[in-house]
Chains A and B, each alone.
Chain A
Amino acid sequence: MLDVIQKQLLEEVADLHEVPAGAYNIRANGEMASRNTTANIDIVTKTDGKSGIDIKIKDGTKNESVHIPVVLSQSGIKEMVYNDFYIGDNCDVTIVAGCGIHNSGSKDSEHDGIHRFFVGKNSKVRYVEKHYGSGEGEGKRILNPVTEVYQKENSYVDMEMVQIKGVDSTIRETKAELEKGATLIVHERLMTHGNQSATSIYTVELNGEDSSTDVISRSVAKDTSEQIFEASIVGNNKCNGHAECDAIIMDKAHVVAIPKLDAKNIDAALIHEAAIGKIAGDQLIKLMSLGLTEHEAEEQIINGFLR
């Protein structure tokens, strides 16, 4: 059974107050805590020696969800988990992943997850991944997710990647390959504070005709934290690609945005936009003129920005 801290972590990363409806696999401190499968969604433990699960979603599965949250509450755990999602054709599903680390000890806790998505033709997938860290220990909370997405014809994947609080170090690598007519949308929301560092590297290969992607990152870097955002879009066919990095820099933080557009076809239309700046003074003044203190105004602006 999950303890109180683990339940809190679950609430943060998966909005779960209790056992979710539908299929789920909850992993706590390196072991499976509970699992449920449905007629259409099967979850099986890997048998090739690697730690992790295979999630198999049958063709035509609609309006179903899978929750696979991970919680670490024991200081000093380091794990590498391989999760593979096999999504059939003509599906419409929501997948909620996420990792919460509570580290009140002196040893580092680290969860490295490799998620691979094989998305069938005409399928629609909404994927939500939230990261959260808590605990006052000196030990670091480290998360290094790797996400690979392979999209078949006319599939649509919408990914929401959120890391708002408490994770000391993250290197997120996301790679995607899209076939004809496929679309990948990524919304990343990130806030770093203290000495935290976060790196996000996206590489999207638009291989099929009329494939498209929109990678949007909004981030806030506070204190002495450091963020690196690298978005690379490769247009190998007639396609549309757009990447956007919008960052608020505060205190003594450091933010780097590295755009890369690589067009190999005359009909590849690729755009990159990047903006880094402090909170606009007139935004603060407006909210202060409504009676908010400067600190409250800052909070409201950041909350809105990261919504």
Chain B
Amino acid sequence: MLELKNVTYKVTENNIDKTIIDGLDLTVEDGKFIVITGPNGGGKSTLARTIMGINKITSGNIILDGEDITEKSITERAKAGISFAFQQPVVFKGIKVLDLLRLAAGTKISVTEACEYLSKVGLCAKEYINREVNSSLSGGELKRIEIATVIARHTKISIFDEPEAGIDLWSFNNLIQVFENIRKTINGTVIIISHQERIINIADEIVVIKDGKVATRGTKEEIYPELVKSSSITGAGCSKLIEEGPVVC
């Protein structure tokens, strides 16, 4: 179980303190598939980054399975069972897809195993396994590789920060299938930061973050009508996407 207790995160911009997360409380039960949504600038991505330890909180506590991890580093949190898929996947020079998946898995997994992770995110593995994780890959490809690194870790908690950001509609359509697949197969808690109706649709629970606080939370049936009314999600266009078949290698 992941607990956030009275979490506050402030930044100083031009000598003015700005509160991004404001005394937020949130408990995430094991094995849940949670979507965190809400208006832009509400603190969703910052919240995700504080759970991973990328952004250090100003005050409050983060507790994982009863252990206070507030002061723990990114590495320690990763080892404690938290994974994080970046909104903007990081590119490298010289590090190949296979290398990154091996680092993620924590062992020298075989090429076949690595390919299985790529297949799970809809990439034709043999074309990618030896490619460098650099900017010659498209935004959609990088995003999927990023997601594959999280799947390869098999951690208790997997956080995905706006997986739909920066990818084209075709890639997006495939991405939904990827998350539907994750929904069915993953053993652990999944937290997705998203604005997308179709991702929200597959959640057990929706948490709406606004002004650095939990504005509301509940099941899709409870929350979704409210969201549509307040237009705080941007589902425009995605229901018109053409359904694509599974990726064929």
Binary B-proximity of A277-296 (CB < 8 A = 1, otherwise 0): 00010110111111111100
A286 near B153: Cβ-Cβ < 8 Å: no
A293 near B93: Cβ-Cβ < 8 Å: no
Chain A interface SS verdict (over half)? helix
A246 at the interface (CB under 8 A from B): yes
A306 at the interface (CB under 8 A from B): yes
The stretch of A67-75, A103-111, A221-229, A297-305 in contact with B is A297-305
Decide: A304 near B78, CB < 8 A? Known: A288-B73, A290-B103, A290-B153: no
Decide: A301 near B78, CB < 8 A? Known: A289-B83, A291-B106: no
Decide: A289 near B52, CB < 8 A? Known: A294-B75, A300-B95: yes
Whole-angstrom distance from the CB of B107 to the nearest CB of chain A?
11
How many A-B contacts at CB < 8 Å in the complex?
58
Binary B-proximity of A244-275 (CB < 8 A = 1, otherwise 0): 00100000000000000000000000000000
For B153, the closest partner residue in chain A by CB is A290
A17 at the interface (CB under 8 A from B): no
Decide: A289 near B95, CB < 8 A? Known: A282-B90, A283-B90: no
Q: How far does the alpha carbon of A295 sit from the alpha carbon of B162 in the complex, in Å?
A: 29
A304 near B75: Cβ-Cβ < 8 Å: no
A292 contacts which chain B residues (CB < 8 A)? Answer: 75, 103
B96 contacts which chain A residues (CB < 8 A)? Answer: 304
B104 at the interface (CB under 8 A from A): yes
Q: How far does the alpha carbon of A265 sit from the alpha carbon of B39 in the complex, in Å?
A: 58
Q: How far does the alpha carbon of A307 sit from the alpha carbon of B84 in the complex, in Å?
A: 27
Chain B interface SS verdict (over half)? mixed
A303 contacts which chain B residues (CB < 8 A)? Answer: 94
Q: How far does the alpha carbon of A286 sit from the alpha carbon of B85 in the complex, in Å?
A: 9
A290 near B104: Cβ-Cβ < 8 Å: yes
Whole-angstrom distance from the CB of A306 to the nearest CB of chain B?
7
B75 near A291: Cβ-Cβ < 8 Å: yes
B99 contacts which chain A residues (CB < 8 A)? Answer: 300, 304
From A285, A291, A304, contact of B92 by CB (8 A): A304
Whole-angstrom distance from the CB of B174 to the nearest CB of chain A?
23
B18 at the interface (CB under 8 A from A): no
From B74, B86, B92, B104, contact of A288 by CB (8 A): B74
B149 near A304: Cβ-Cβ < 8 Å: no
Decide: A283 near B92, CB < 8 A? Known: A289-B54, A290-B104, A290-B153: yes
For B82, the closest partner residue in chain A by CB is A289
Q: How far does the alpha carbon of A246 sit from the alpha carbon of B73 in the complex, in Å?
A: 30
Decide: A289 near B93, CB < 8 A? Known: A300-B103, A304-B99: no
A283 contacts which chain B residues (CB < 8 A)? Answer: 90, 92
B78 near A286: Cβ-Cβ < 8 Å: no
A289 contacts which chain B residues (CB < 8 A)? Answer: 52, 54, 74, 78, 83-84
B84 contacts which chain A residues (CB < 8 A)? Answer: 289
B103 near A307: Cβ-Cβ < 8 Å: no
Q: How far does the alpha carbon of A303 sit from the alpha carbon of B92 in the complex, in Å?
A: 11
- Residues facing A in B143-181 (CB within 8 A) are 149, 153
A288 near B95: Cβ-Cβ < 8 Å: no
B10 at the interface (CB under 8 A from A): no
Interface-centre pick from B54, B73, B74, B84 (highest chain A CB count, 10 A): B74
Whole-angstrom distance from the CB of B53 to the nearest CB of chain A?
8
Whole-angstrom distance from the CB of A191 to the nearest CB of chain B?
13
B95 near A285: Cβ-Cβ < 8 Å: no
From B52, B54, B95, B104, contact of A301 by CB (8 A): B95
B94 contacts which chain A residues (CB < 8 A)? Answer: 303-307
Whole-angstrom distance from the CB of B69 to the nearest CB of chain A?
14
A300 contacts which chain B residues (CB < 8 A)? Answer: 95, 99, 103
Known: A287-B103, A289-B83, A305-B94; 15 extra A-B contacts, CB below 8 A, are A282-B86, A286-B90, A288-B73, A288-B78, A291-B75, A292-B103, A294-B75, A300-B95, A300-B99, A300-B103, A301-B92, A303-B94, A304-B93, A305-B93, A306-B94
Interchain residue pairs with CB less than 8 A apart (29): A218-B93, A246-B93, A282-B86, A283-B90, A285-B74, A286-B86, A287-B103, A288-B74, A288-B78, A290-B83, A290-B103, A290-B104, A290-B106, A290-B149, A291-B75, A291-B78, A291-B79, A291-B106, A293-B75, A300-B103, A301-B92, A304-B92, A304-B93, A304-B94, A304-B95, A304-B96, A305-B92, A305-B93, A307-B94
